[in-house]
Amino acid sequence: MGVLSTLKETLQASTQSGNRGDVTEGESKGAYWCHDCDERIRDVDAPGEGPPNCPDCGGEMTFERSVGSTGCAC
């Protein structure tokens, strides 16, 4: 079983080195918020570059990084 366990360790190592299977989660760094309207647009869904305008009030939305998967580097 030595080969199998070695192979398993190699797979786990390459997984931890950053190439996650979930593309959507990996590319999304956060979301834009309009706190007045509680509107939320993910950065991957935002058109173009920079903060989009709130579809409700037209104000500039605030970017907030998502906490969780990328919150801790250790």
Residues lying near Zn ion in the complex (CB under 5 A): 34, 36-37, 54, 56-57
Name the residue nearer to Zn ion (CB basis): 27 or 45: 45
The least CB distance from residue 27 to Zn ion, in Å, is 25
Who's near 52: CB < 8 A, 6+ residues apart? 32, 41, 46, 61
Distance CA 16, CA 23 (A): 15
Residue whose entry in the numeric block shows the structure tokens 């970017």: 63
Indicate the residue among 26 and 63 with the shorter CB distance to Zn ion.
Answer: 63
Q: Pick the closer one to Zn ion by CB: 25 or 56.
A: 56
